[in-house]
Amino acid sequence: MTKGLIILGAFFILSWCWIAYEIWTAPLMPDDFDLKEEDIWPVEEWPDLLEEEEYDAAVDRHKPEDWDEDHALDLVMNDMVKDFTEKDIQNITNANKKD
């Protein structure tokens, strides 16, 4: 048991020494980031960031690549609830109270 703890402790210490060495000797990014003149985006081609667009929370929350079955179910449920009348909601509430 004691030998196992000593081996485990030695492995732990050596692992952290190796991690510290790798961090200490890691290469750094140069100050100019190796940018060339053709890599820089000209000011004339910048998008107009001051132009205000109409905010759409659904588009903001769920970009097309993020859509899944849960999102589709949410959309369907929202459409169903939108068409309910007060009487429909009261009937559902009463039915849930009976159960």
Overall pTM > 0.85: no
Look at the block and give the residue holding tokens 């659904």: 58
Domain that holds residue 62: 2-94
CA–CA dist 66, 57 (Å, integer): 14
Which residue type does 43 have? V
Q: Which two tokens stand for residue 51?
A: 């132009």
Helix ranges restricted to H, 1-99: 2-24, 57-61, 69-82, 86-98
Flag whether 56 is in a domain. yes
Cα–Cα distance list, 38 to 35, 41, 44, 47, 82 (Å) = 8, 8, 14, 18, 53
Flag whether 99 is in a domain. no
* Number of domains comprising the chain: 1
The 10s digit of each residue's pLDDT in 61-77 is 655 565 577 878 888 88
More confident residue, 37 or 5: 5
